[in-house]
Protein backbone atom coordinates (compact mmCIF):
# COMPACT_ATOMS: atom_id res chain seq x y z
CA UNK A 1 0.00 0.00 0.00
CA UNK A 2 2.86 2.29 0.90
CA UNK A 3 4.12 2.27 -2.68
CA UNK A 4 0.66 3.12 -3.98
CA UNK A 5 0.63 6.21 -1.79
CA UNK A 6 3.95 7.40 -3.22
CA UNK A 7 2.88 6.80 -6.81
CA UNK A 8 -0.34 8.74 -6.25
CA UNK A 9 1.40 11.52 -4.38
CA UNK A 10 3.99 11.83 -7.15
CA UNK A 11 1.34 11.89 -9.84
CA UNK A 12 -0.75 14.53 -8.08
CA UNK A 13 2.28 16.69 -7.43
CA UNK A 14 3.22 16.46 -11.08
CA UNK A 15 -0.22 17.20 -12.47
CA UNK A 16 0.03 20.21 -14.70
CA UNK A 17 -2.65 22.84 -14.19
CA UNK A 18 -4.47 24.79 -16.87
CA UNK A 19 -1.69 27.17 -17.57
CA UNK A 20 1.48 28.78 -16.37
CA UNK A 21 -0.36 30.59 -13.58
CA UNK A 22 -1.13 27.26 -11.89
CA UNK A 23 2.03 25.35 -12.50
CA UNK A 24 5.56 26.56 -11.91
CA UNK A 25 6.80 23.91 -14.32
CA UNK A 26 6.54 23.90 -18.09
CA UNK A 27 7.17 21.28 -20.75
CA UNK A 28 10.88 22.07 -20.59
CA UNK A 29 10.93 21.05 -16.93
CA UNK A 30 8.87 17.90 -17.39
CA UNK A 31 11.14 16.85 -20.23
CA UNK A 32 14.41 17.99 -18.72
CA UNK A 33 15.82 14.45 -18.53
CA UNK A 34 14.68 13.70 -22.07
CA UNK A 35 15.23 16.40 -24.64
CA UNK A 36 15.03 20.11 -25.31
CA UNK A 37 11.50 21.13 -26.13
CA UNK A 38 10.47 24.06 -28.25
CA UNK A 39 8.35 25.82 -30.84
CA UNK A 40 8.73 27.71 -34.09
CA UNK A 41 7.91 31.38 -33.79
CA UNK A 42 7.36 34.59 -35.72
CA UNK A 43 9.22 37.79 -34.77
CA UNK A 44 6.07 39.41 -33.30
CA UNK A 45 5.76 36.51 -30.86
CA UNK A 46 8.86 37.65 -28.98
CA UNK A 47 6.59 40.02 -27.01
CA UNK A 48 3.25 39.71 -25.25
CA UNK A 49 1.33 36.68 -24.01
CA UNK A 50 2.76 34.25 -26.56
CA UNK A 51 6.29 35.23 -25.50
CA UNK A 52 5.33 34.61 -21.85
CA UNK A 53 4.00 31.20 -22.77
CA UNK A 54 7.15 30.35 -24.75
CA UNK A 55 9.39 31.30 -21.86
CA UNK A 56 7.33 29.29 -19.40
CA UNK A 57 7.06 26.13 -21.48
CA UNK A 58 9.98 25.90 -23.90
CA UNK A 59 13.77 26.02 -23.94
CA UNK A 60 14.41 26.01 -27.69
CA UNK A 61 12.96 28.00 -30.58
CA UNK A 62 13.15 28.05 -34.37
CA UNK A 63 12.29 30.93 -36.68
CA UNK A 64 9.18 29.79 -38.49
CA UNK A 65 9.95 31.84 -41.62
CA UNK A 66 12.37 34.64 -40.77
CA UNK A 67 15.59 32.77 -41.64
CA UNK A 68 14.38 31.20 -44.87
CA UNK A 69 16.09 32.23 -48.11
CA UNK A 70 13.24 34.39 -49.47
CA UNK A 71 12.47 36.41 -46.33
CA UNK A 72 16.10 36.95 -45.30
CA UNK A 73 17.77 37.48 -48.71
CA UNK A 74 15.10 39.04 -50.92
CA UNK A 75 17.52 40.63 -53.39
CA UNK A 76 20.94 39.50 -54.49
CA UNK A 77 22.75 42.29 -52.68
CA UNK A 78 20.31 42.90 -49.86
CA UNK A 79 19.70 40.91 -46.72
CA UNK A 80 16.69 41.68 -44.54
CA UNK A 81 17.83 40.79 -41.05
CA UNK A 82 15.23 42.47 -38.81
CA UNK A 83 12.88 39.55 -38.18
CA UNK A 84 15.61 36.98 -37.64
CA UNK A 85 17.60 39.41 -35.49
CA UNK A 86 14.61 39.86 -33.22
CA UNK A 87 14.23 36.13 -32.77
CA UNK A 88 17.97 35.67 -32.19
CA UNK A 89 17.97 38.46 -29.56
CA UNK A 90 14.96 36.90 -27.84
CA UNK A 91 16.81 33.58 -27.66
CA UNK A 92 20.01 35.21 -26.40
CA UNK A 93 18.35 37.32 -23.72
CA UNK A 94 16.31 34.43 -22.40
CA UNK A 95 18.86 31.64 -22.69
CA UNK A 96 16.85 29.71 -25.22
CA UNK A 97 18.54 27.39 -27.68
CA UNK A 98 18.04 28.49 -31.28
CA UNK A 99 17.76 26.17 -34.30
CA UNK A 100 18.44 27.72 -37.69
CA UNK A 101 15.91 26.96 -40.43
CA UNK A 102 16.75 26.64 -43.31
CA UNK A 103 19.66 27.27 -45.69
CA UNK A 104 18.81 25.38 -48.87
CA UNK A 105 15.23 24.59 -49.86
CA UNK A 106 13.16 24.71 -53.05
CA UNK A 107 10.28 26.67 -51.46
CA UNK A 108 10.13 30.26 -50.25
CA UNK A 109 13.07 31.17 -52.47
CA UNK A 110 13.48 34.73 -53.81
CA UNK A 111 12.72 35.40 -57.47
CA UNK A 112 16.30 36.45 -58.34
CA UNK A 113 17.96 33.26 -57.11
CA UNK A 114 17.76 30.92 -60.07
CA UNK A 115 17.85 33.41 -62.96
CA UNK A 116 20.34 35.79 -64.56
CA UNK A 117 19.85 39.39 -65.76
CA UNK A 118 18.27 38.18 -69.00
CA UNK A 119 15.76 36.13 -67.04
CA UNK A 120 17.34 32.83 -68.07
CA UNK A 121 18.41 30.01 -65.77
CA UNK A 122 21.84 30.53 -64.19
CA UNK A 123 24.52 27.88 -64.58
CA UNK A 124 25.88 25.61 -61.90
CA UNK A 125 28.89 27.76 -61.08
CA UNK A 126 26.76 30.85 -60.49
CA UNK A 127 24.12 29.01 -58.48
CA UNK A 128 26.67 27.35 -56.21
CA UNK A 129 28.46 30.65 -55.65
CA UNK A 130 25.12 32.28 -54.74
CA UNK A 131 24.43 29.42 -52.35
CA UNK A 132 27.85 29.80 -50.77
CA UNK A 133 27.46 33.54 -50.36
CA UNK A 134 24.01 33.12 -48.81
CA UNK A 135 25.06 30.38 -46.39
CA UNK A 136 28.23 32.17 -45.36
CA UNK A 137 26.46 35.45 -44.60
CA UNK A 138 23.52 33.95 -42.73
CA UNK A 139 25.52 31.41 -40.74
CA UNK A 140 28.15 34.01 -39.76
CA UNK A 141 25.52 36.48 -38.62
CA UNK A 142 23.94 34.00 -36.18
CA UNK A 143 27.09 32.09 -35.32
CA UNK A 144 26.85 32.95 -31.65
CA UNK A 145 23.18 32.10 -31.33
CA UNK A 146 22.30 29.25 -33.69
CA UNK A 147 23.75 25.93 -32.51
CA UNK A 148 22.12 23.70 -35.14
CA UNK A 149 21.14 24.38 -38.75
CA UNK A 150 18.66 22.66 -41.02
CA UNK A 151 21.07 22.88 -43.94
CA UNK A 152 19.02 21.15 -46.63
CA UNK A 153 15.25 20.89 -46.42
CA UNK A 154 13.06 18.39 -48.28
CA UNK A 155 15.42 17.26 -51.05
CA UNK A 156 13.94 13.77 -51.36
CA UNK A 157 11.07 13.13 -53.75
CA UNK A 158 7.68 11.81 -52.61
CA UNK A 159 7.26 10.23 -56.02
CA UNK A 160 8.06 6.48 -55.81
CA UNK A 161 9.76 6.62 -59.24
CA UNK A 162 12.09 9.45 -58.30
CA UNK A 163 15.02 9.63 -55.88
CA UNK A 164 15.76 13.34 -55.43
CA UNK A 165 13.06 15.97 -55.78
CA UNK A 166 13.20 17.77 -59.12
CA UNK A 167 14.01 21.37 -58.20
CA UNK A 168 16.11 24.13 -59.75
CA UNK A 169 18.87 23.15 -57.31
CA UNK A 170 18.96 19.65 -58.76
CA UNK A 171 18.37 20.60 -62.36
CA UNK A 172 21.12 23.19 -62.42
CA UNK A 173 23.71 21.66 -60.08
CA UNK A 174 22.99 17.94 -60.01
CA UNK A 175 23.24 15.99 -56.78
CA UNK A 176 26.38 17.87 -55.78
CA UNK A 177 24.45 20.82 -54.37
CA UNK A 178 23.62 18.70 -51.31
CA UNK A 179 27.24 18.12 -50.38
CA UNK A 180 28.15 21.71 -51.19
CA UNK A 181 25.45 23.13 -48.90
CA UNK A 182 26.81 21.13 -45.98
CA UNK A 183 30.39 22.06 -46.78
CA UNK A 184 29.61 25.76 -47.00
CA UNK A 185 27.73 25.66 -43.69
CA UNK A 186 30.57 23.80 -42.01
CA UNK A 187 33.14 26.27 -43.32
CA UNK A 188 31.05 29.19 -42.07
CA UNK A 189 30.65 27.70 -38.57
CA UNK A 190 32.64 24.55 -37.81
CA UNK A 191 30.93 24.28 -34.40
CA UNK A 192 27.33 24.23 -35.64
CA UNK A 193 25.46 20.93 -35.82
CA UNK A 194 24.26 20.32 -39.36
CA UNK A 195 20.97 18.60 -40.19
CA UNK A 196 19.11 17.21 -43.16
CA UNK A 197 15.40 17.95 -42.54
CA UNK A 198 12.33 16.37 -44.18
CA UNK A 199 8.70 15.28 -43.78
CA UNK A 200 7.15 11.82 -44.25
CA UNK A 201 10.43 10.44 -42.96
CA UNK A 202 8.52 7.43 -41.60
CA UNK A 203 7.20 6.41 -45.05
CA UNK A 204 9.07 3.19 -45.83
CA UNK A 205 9.86 4.19 -49.45
CA UNK A 206 10.95 7.70 -48.60
CA UNK A 207 12.97 6.46 -45.64
CA UNK A 208 15.04 4.22 -47.90
CA UNK A 209 15.82 7.20 -50.14
CA UNK A 210 16.71 9.47 -47.21
CA UNK A 211 19.04 6.81 -45.83
CA UNK A 212 20.62 6.34 -49.26
CA UNK A 213 21.30 10.08 -49.51
CA UNK A 214 22.72 10.35 -45.99
CA UNK A 215 24.96 7.33 -46.49
CA UNK A 216 26.23 8.83 -49.71
CA UNK A 217 27.07 12.12 -47.94
CA UNK A 218 28.75 10.20 -45.12
CA UNK A 219 30.76 8.14 -47.62
CA UNK A 220 32.04 11.37 -49.21
CA UNK A 221 33.13 12.61 -45.78
CA UNK A 222 30.58 15.45 -45.81
CA UNK A 223 29.93 16.95 -42.37
CA UNK A 224 26.38 15.96 -41.44
CA UNK A 225 25.46 15.54 -37.78
CA UNK A 226 21.80 14.78 -37.74
CA UNK A 227 18.45 14.19 -39.26
CA UNK A 228 15.53 16.53 -38.68
CA UNK A 229 12.32 14.54 -38.58
CA UNK A 230 9.72 17.21 -39.24
CA UNK A 231 6.80 15.33 -37.72
CA UNK A 232 3.80 16.96 -39.39
CA UNK A 233 1.60 14.06 -38.33
CA UNK A 234 -2.12 13.43 -37.98
CA UNK A 235 -4.56 11.78 -35.60
CA UNK A 236 -4.83 9.08 -38.31
CA UNK A 237 -1.14 8.19 -38.40
CA UNK A 238 1.66 7.24 -38.40
CA UNK A 239 1.29 4.40 -35.94
CA UNK A 240 3.69 3.47 -33.18
CA UNK A 241 5.46 0.71 -35.13
CA UNK A 242 6.04 2.98 -38.13
CA UNK A 243 7.58 5.65 -35.95
CA UNK A 244 9.63 3.18 -33.98
CA UNK A 245 11.09 1.59 -37.13
CA UNK A 246 11.94 4.93 -38.71
CA UNK A 247 13.63 6.35 -35.65
CA UNK A 248 15.62 3.16 -35.05
CA UNK A 249 16.87 3.17 -38.64
CA UNK A 250 17.99 6.79 -38.51
CA UNK A 251 19.65 6.11 -35.17
CA UNK A 252 21.58 3.27 -36.80
CA UNK A 253 23.24 5.81 -39.12
CA UNK A 254 24.94 7.23 -36.06
CA UNK A 255 23.12 10.54 -36.43
CA UNK A 256 21.60 12.84 -33.88
CA UNK A 257 17.84 13.16 -34.20
CA UNK A 258 15.84 16.35 -33.83
CA UNK A 259 12.07 16.34 -34.15
CA UNK A 260 11.86 19.70 -35.85
CA UNK A 261 8.25 20.49 -36.80
CA UNK A 262 5.85 18.56 -34.62
CA UNK A 263 2.09 18.95 -34.90
CA UNK A 264 -0.81 16.50 -35.03
CA UNK A 265 -3.48 17.59 -37.48
CA UNK A 266 -7.04 16.63 -36.65
CA UNK A 267 -7.71 15.74 -40.31
CA UNK A 268 -6.52 12.93 -42.57
CA UNK A 269 -3.27 13.78 -44.36
CA UNK A 270 -3.83 15.73 -47.58
CA UNK A 271 -1.38 17.83 -49.53
CA UNK A 272 -3.23 19.41 -52.50
CA UNK A 273 -4.68 22.86 -51.94
CA UNK A 274 -8.47 23.09 -52.19
CA UNK A 275 -11.44 24.99 -50.75
CA UNK A 276 -13.38 23.68 -47.77
CA UNK A 277 -16.58 21.99 -48.92
CA UNK A 278 -19.75 23.78 -47.72
CA UNK A 279 -20.78 20.97 -45.37
CA UNK A 280 -17.28 19.84 -44.38
CA UNK A 281 -17.00 19.62 -40.58
CA UNK A 282 -14.15 21.49 -38.92
CA UNK A 283 -15.11 21.30 -35.25
CA UNK A 284 -12.65 19.93 -32.73
CA UNK A 285 -15.10 17.26 -31.57
CA UNK A 286 -14.72 15.14 -28.43
CA UNK A 287 -13.86 12.19 -30.67
CA UNK A 288 -11.07 14.12 -32.40
CA UNK A 289 -9.74 15.35 -29.06
CA UNK A 290 -9.55 11.78 -27.83
CA UNK A 291 -7.80 10.61 -31.00
CA UNK A 292 -5.33 13.46 -30.74
CA UNK A 293 -4.57 12.63 -27.12
CA UNK A 294 -3.94 9.01 -28.02
CA UNK A 295 -1.74 9.95 -30.94
CA UNK A 296 0.37 12.41 -28.94
CA UNK A 297 0.64 9.83 -26.19
CA UNK A 298 1.95 7.24 -28.67
CA UNK A 299 4.36 9.73 -30.21
CA UNK A 300 5.87 10.79 -26.90
CA UNK A 301 6.19 7.19 -25.72
CA UNK A 302 8.29 6.42 -28.79
CA UNK A 303 10.31 9.62 -28.47
CA UNK A 304 10.97 9.01 -24.78
CA UNK A 305 12.31 5.53 -25.55
CA UNK A 306 14.82 7.11 -27.92
CA UNK A 307 15.89 9.91 -25.64
CA UNK A 308 19.56 8.99 -26.03
CA UNK A 309 19.57 9.95 -29.68
CA UNK A 310 16.78 12.53 -29.72
CA UNK A 311 18.24 15.79 -28.54
CA UNK A 312 15.39 18.17 -29.26
CA UNK A 313 11.65 18.18 -29.99
CA UNK A 314 10.18 21.33 -31.54
CA UNK A 315 6.51 22.01 -32.24
CA UNK A 316 5.66 23.86 -35.44
CA UNK A 317 3.96 26.93 -33.94
CA UNK A 318 3.04 27.60 -30.34
CA UNK A 319 -0.72 27.16 -29.99
CA UNK A 320 -3.96 26.53 -31.86
CA UNK A 321 -4.47 30.30 -31.88
CA UNK A 322 -2.21 30.49 -34.94
CA UNK A 323 -0.99 27.48 -36.86
CA UNK A 324 0.18 27.13 -40.47
CA UNK A 325 -2.40 24.33 -40.74
CA UNK A 326 -5.26 26.85 -40.47
CA UNK A 327 -6.36 27.08 -44.09
CA UNK A 328 -3.68 24.68 -45.30
CA UNK A 329 -4.09 22.74 -47.45
CA UNK A 330 -7.84 23.37 -47.17
CA UNK A 331 -8.80 27.05 -47.46
CA UNK A 332 -11.36 28.07 -44.83
CA UNK A 333 -10.69 25.16 -42.49
CA UNK A 334 -9.45 25.59 -38.91
CA UNK A 335 -7.04 23.05 -37.37
CA UNK A 336 -6.14 22.25 -33.75
CA UNK A 337 -2.77 20.52 -33.91
CA UNK A 338 -0.87 21.77 -30.85
CA UNK A 339 -0.82 21.42 -27.04
CA UNK A 340 -2.23 24.88 -26.26
CA UNK A 341 -5.71 26.06 -27.27
CA UNK A 342 -6.87 29.19 -29.06
CA UNK A 343 -6.69 31.08 -25.74
CA UNK A 344 -3.15 29.82 -25.05
CA UNK A 345 -4.36 27.47 -22.29
CA UNK A 346 -3.02 23.96 -21.92
CA UNK A 347 -5.27 21.43 -23.63
CA UNK A 348 -6.13 18.14 -21.88
CA UNK A 349 -3.63 16.47 -24.23
CA UNK A 350 -0.85 18.29 -22.35
CA UNK A 351 -1.82 16.58 -19.09
CA UNK A 352 -2.07 13.25 -20.86
CA UNK A 353 1.46 13.51 -22.21
CA UNK A 354 2.90 14.39 -18.83
CA UNK A 355 0.95 11.59 -17.14
CA UNK A 356 2.36 9.18 -19.75
CA UNK A 357 5.89 10.36 -18.98
CA UNK A 358 5.43 9.85 -15.28
CA UNK A 359 4.11 6.33 -15.82
CA UNK A 360 7.16 5.47 -17.97
CA UNK A 361 9.45 6.24 -15.06
C1 LIG B 1 7.87 22.69 -44.12
C2 LIG B 1 9.01 23.63 -43.86
C3 LIG B 1 8.66 24.61 -42.80
C4 LIG B 1 7.31 25.19 -42.98
C5 LIG B 1 6.31 24.11 -43.07
C6 LIG B 1 4.93 24.71 -43.19
O7 LIG B 1 7.75 21.72 -43.19
O8 LIG B 1 10.19 22.97 -43.48
O9 LIG B 1 9.60 25.62 -42.81
O10 LIG B 1 7.26 25.98 -44.13
O11 LIG B 1 6.61 23.33 -44.19
O12 LIG B 1 4.78 25.83 -42.39
Expressed in angstroms and rounded, the spacing between residue 23 Cα and the centre of ligand 1 is: 31
Q: Report the nearest-CA residue for atom 8 of ligand 1.
A: 153
Nearest atom in ligand 1 to the alpha carbon of residue 199 is 7
User: What fold does the segment set 25-267+285-318 form as a domain?
Assistant: TIM Barrel (3.20.20)
Q: Which of 231, 262, 315, 316 to mutate to test the pocket of ligand 1 (most atoms within 8 A of CB)?
A: 316
- Rounded to two decimals, the pTM is 0.94
Nearest atom in ligand 1 to the alpha carbon of residue 108 is 10
Nearest atom in ligand 1 to the alpha carbon of residue 261 is 7
Q: Taking the CB of residue 5, how many other CB atoms lie within 10 A of it?
A: 9
Could you check whether the bond before residue 248 is cis, i.e. omega within 30 degrees of 0?
A: no
Residue 359 is predicted with a pLDDT of 77
Expressed in angstroms and rounded, the spacing between residue 186 Cα and the centre of ligand 1 is: 23
| Residue 233 falls in which region: left (phi positive, over 0), alpha (psi -120 to 50) or beta | beta
Residue 10 is predicted with a pLDDT of 43
Nearest atom in ligand 1 to the alpha carbon of residue 324 is 12
Expressed in angstroms and rounded, the spacing between residue 112 Cα and the centre of ligand 1 is: 21
Q: What is the DSSP letter of 340?
A: B
Expressed in angstroms and rounded, the spacing between residue 224 Cα and the centre of ligand 1 is: 21
Asked if residue 324 has its Cβ within 6 Å of ligand 1, the reply is: yes
Active site residue ranges: 154, 261
pLDDT tens, residue order, the chain (361 aa): 444 444 444 444 444 555 555 899 999 999 999 999 999 999 999 999 999 999 999 999 999 999 999 999 999 999 999 999 999 999 999 999 999 999 999 999 999 999 999 999 999 999 999 999 999 999 999 999 999 999 999 999 999 999 999 999 999 999 999 999 999 999 999 999 999 999 999 999 999 999 999 999 999 999 999 999 999 999 999 999 999 999 999 999 999 999 999 999 999 999 899 999 999 988 999 999 999 999 999 999 999 999 999 999 999 999 999 999 999 999 999 999 999 999 999 999 999 999 988 777 6
Q: Which residues pair with 315 in a beta bridge?
A: 39, 262
User: Cα(354)–Cα(18) distance, rounded to whole angstroms?
Assistant: 13
**Is-contact 70 109, C-beta < 8 A?**
yes
- Counting Cβ atoms within 10 Å, is residue 13 exposed (0-12), middle (13-18) or buried (19+)? exposed
Asked if residue 261 has its Cβ within 6 Å of ligand 1, the reply is: yes
Residue 8 is predicted with a pLDDT of 42
φ and ψ at residue 197, rounded to 5 degrees: -125, 135
Residue 19 is predicted with a pLDDT of 54
Asked if residue 328 has its Cβ within 6 Å of ligand 1, the reply is: no
* Boundaries of every domain in the chain: 25-267+285-318
Q: Taking the CB of residue 8, how many other CB atoms lie within 10 A of it?
A: 10
**Is-contact 113 69, C-beta < 8 A?**
yes
Q: Coil, strand, or helix at residue 214?
A: helix
Amino acid sequence: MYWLFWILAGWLAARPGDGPQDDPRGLKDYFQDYFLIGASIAPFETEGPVADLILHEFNTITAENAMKFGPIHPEENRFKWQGADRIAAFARLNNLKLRGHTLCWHNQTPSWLFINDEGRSVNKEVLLSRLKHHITEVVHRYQNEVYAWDVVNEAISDNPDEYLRITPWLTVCGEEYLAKAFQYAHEADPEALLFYNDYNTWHPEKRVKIIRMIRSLQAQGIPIDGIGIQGHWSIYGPDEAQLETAISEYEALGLLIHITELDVSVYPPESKRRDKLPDEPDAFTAQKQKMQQEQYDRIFRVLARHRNSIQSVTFWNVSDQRTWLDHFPVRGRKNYPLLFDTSLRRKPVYTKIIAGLIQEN
